[in-house]
């Protein structure tokens, strides 16, 4: 039996999937997604980034989901259902004056992503959002490359903070179930006063299995994407989790509708998922940027060359 | 830490993958596969079925890997390496007179697949192959649809038999890790004198994770396919398992060569893998035949209709 702790699914299709297509989602797409998630019983939809275009280069080319604006959101989702809205912010890219008090905002949850060395800055932002009334999470990225002493130090600051939920993030899709279990246990041990969440990537086809493992360990916040759409290998599939979490509160059919209407055609134009270059960076516990570069070049599918490049000593020494 | 028990990978690309393309593999494909598996350190290659064409309808259209013949195999693999050769047989489709003594055969391992009600017949065949000198396995299919009292009865016969290895087979790709763990524990408990194996399908993206779980539980024989090629959603990916099993005996690079040279082009012509119709039959714990029929029709990708058909009461009652 799985734990009886109440799970909360945070669908990241627009936010993480936007990393695939530069947030080029139509308003109809996002409206259909919202309706399908609401009908499916998914608790949160992460509808984009709340970064400021003033603080980011090349911002003009990106769709509106990269720089969420409350006036715009009110037009997109005039009738909000039970599904809450979430946005992600990055350290150094958020303008505090852009963030309304929650009572005046469409957003319910603001999540702060950071690397381990920026946990203090991230917690400052968390405090700000918390004071303005939002639910908050802290998402520490690239945990597979963090030394445990750094993590322990971060835990001390996090424990004392106001953050509601702390995420275990497998940014590179490199963690085997045994590694993932180890990290979750570590977070549980050091953060007994915080709820936990997980965000997985599917480089090794382990995103769903690792998420189920997290549920068994009592983790409550579970990130997913419809049809797995997310950067590179993508995320845990919403349809799989909705279909398998115990209890009767979720339905898979509305998610299947979304996949049939939007995701299958979109997958013909854009690519994500189990692709060999991404499997290789996952295997080697690396950021997928080199794999994404090769997929976008005329060397696509030359996977043996790619593997050799990443594993020859000269390249490794220059890492 | 994973268990120190020695693992043995049985690559089923030709045999299970042949269910996708009616065994239309060129001799060059099979030779390259053999070389790549041998270089990768994979212990067994299942090179096809050893059924008799006399006992099967529509046999003429299938490639030679469906009806293996030792004279033919000797030409295909003139220089056998360390990788042993395996063949699968089905109950009622094997002609005993086709099976040479192992000393005169290219094959090392013969595996007998059956449903629970045919375990006795399967064990008779196992005895025959055992007497002729082969290693043997018994693969009981569709375990997710077997009642436990039937299974316990079968265990009694299996325990007394000469079979070397008994497989836990997730034919429909429907088993969650907790279900799979339950079955493996049951097999371990009732068959303490037998080695165990697992054969998984990837309908829910759990084939690799369930195989890792089996390794943790001391299961020794692990079925895989290169790039996951197998019926419907396919199998646990050879490249993932080779890359992740502990120790230094396997190398992933030769498998990547095979994928680049043969599997990526083949995947353009034939389909297998995480496809929504197969996800739905996995979810509903059903044989994928209805999904395969829909994929081969003009209703491909109409996944909501498909889901509705399989979940409406009238259809269920007629099951």
Residue owning tokens 């070049």? A297
Nearest to A12 by CA among A111, A135, A96, A93: A111
Nearest to B29 by CA among B67, B72, B77: B77
Residue B3 has pLDDT above 80, yes or no: no
Residue A133 has pLDDT above 90, yes or no: yes
Position A61 scores a pLDDT of: 66
* Cα–Cα dist B189/A255, whole Å: 40
Query: What value does the mean pLDDT of chain B take?
Result: 93
Contacts of A275 in chain B (CB under 8 A): none
Residue B120 has pLDDT above 90, yes or no: yes
Residue B172 has pLDDT above 60, yes or no: yes
Residue A170 has pLDDT above 60, yes or no: yes
User: For helices A177-190 and A207-216, what crossing angle results, to 10°?
Assistant: 40
Q: Count other C-beta atoms under 10 Å from residue B168's C-beta.
A: 24
ipTM comes to: 0.92
Helix-strand-coil percent breakdown of chain B, rounded to 5?
A: 50, 15, 35
Q: Which two tokens stand for residue A176?
A: 């085997």
Residue A128 DSSP symbol: H
The closest CB to that of B276, out of A212, A216, A259, belongs to A259
Share of chain B above pLDDT 90, in %: 84
Work out the minimum CA distance from B164 to partner chain A, whole angstroms.
Answer: 30
* Phi, psi dihedrals of residue A79, rounded to the nearest 5°: -120, 95
* Cα–Cα dist A9/A252, whole Å: 13
Q: How far is CA B104 from CA A65, B101, B129, in A?
A: 67, 6, 13
Q: How far is CA A80 from CA A31, A75, A194, B184, in A?
A: 10, 11, 28, 46
Share of chain A above pLDDT 70, in %: 95
List pLDDT tens digits, range A80-97: 999 999 999 999 888 888
Q: Do B206 and A209 touch (CB under 8 A)?
A: yes
In chain A, the residue whose alpha carbon lies closest to the alpha carbon of B204 is: A240
Residue owning tokens 């060569």? B257
Element (H, E) at B135: strand B135-140
Task: List residues of B whose CB lies inside 8 A of any A CB.
Answer: 1-2, 176-178, 202, 204-210, 212-213, 216, 237, 239-240, 243-244, 252-253, 256-257, 259-260, 264, 273-274, 276, 279-280, 283, 301-304, 307-308
Q: Which of A36, A209, A295 to mutate to test the interface with B (most CBs of B within 10 A)?
A: A209
Contacts of A281 in chain B (CB under 8 A): none
Do the Cβ atoms of B286 and B312 come closer than 8 Å? no
The closest CB to that of B212, out of A177, A244, A256, belongs to A177
Average pLDDT over residues A12-19: 97
Domains of chain B: 8-269 (3.20.20.70), 276-317 (no CATH)
* Cα–Cα dist B44/B33, whole Å: 12
Position B35 scores a pLDDT of: 98
Residue B271 has pLDDT above 90, yes or no: yes
Element (H, E) at A314: helix A313-317
Position B98 scores a pLDDT of: 84
Higher pLDDT, B226 or A5: B226
Position A37 scores a pLDDT of: 98
List pLDDT tens digits, range B158-170: 999 999 999 999 9
Question: Looking at A52-66, A179-193, B140-154, B192-206, which range is the least confident one?
Answer: A52-66
**Confidence band for A67, pLDDT divided at 50, 70 and 90:** confident
């Amino acid at each position: 039996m799985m734990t009886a702790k109440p799970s909360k699914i945070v669908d990241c299709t627009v936010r993480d999937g936007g990393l695939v297509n530069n947030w080029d989602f139509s308003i109809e797409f996002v409206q259909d997604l919202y309706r399908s998630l609401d009908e499916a019983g998914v608790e949160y939809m992460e509808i984009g980034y709340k970064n400021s275009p003033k603080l980011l280069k090349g911002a003009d080319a990106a769709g509106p989901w990269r720089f969420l604006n409350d006036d715009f959101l009110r037009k997109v989702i005039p009738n909000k259902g039970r599904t809450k809205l979430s946005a992600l912010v990055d350290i150094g890219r958020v303008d505090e004056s852009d963030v309304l008090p929650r009572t005046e905002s469409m957003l319910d949850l603001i999540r702060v992503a950071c690397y381990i060395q920026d946990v203090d800055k991230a917690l400052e932002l968390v405090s700000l959002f918390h004071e303005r009334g939002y639910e908050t999470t802290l998402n520490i990225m690239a945990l597979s490359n963090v030394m445990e002493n750094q993590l322990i130090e971060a835990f001390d600051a996090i424990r004392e903070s106001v953050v509601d939920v702390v995420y275990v993030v497998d940014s590179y899709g490199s963690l085997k179930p045994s590694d993932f279990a180890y990290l979750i246990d570590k977070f549980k041990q050091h953060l007994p006063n915080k709820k936990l969440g997980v965000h997985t990537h599917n480089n090794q086809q382990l995103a769903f299995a690792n998420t189920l493992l997290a549920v068994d360990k009592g983790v409550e916040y579970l990130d997913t994407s419809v049809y797995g759409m997310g950067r590179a290998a993508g995320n845990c599939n919403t349809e799989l989790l909705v279909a398998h979490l115990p209890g009767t509160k979720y339905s898979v059919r509305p998610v299947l509708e979304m996949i049939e209407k939007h995701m299958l055609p979109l997958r013909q134009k854009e690519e994500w998922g189990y692709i060999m270059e991404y499997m290789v960076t996952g295997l080697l516990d690396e950021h997928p940027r080199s794999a994404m570069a090769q997929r976008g070049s005329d060397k696509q599918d030359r996977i043996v060359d790619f593997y050799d490049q990443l594993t020859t000593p000269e390249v490794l020494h220059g890492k």
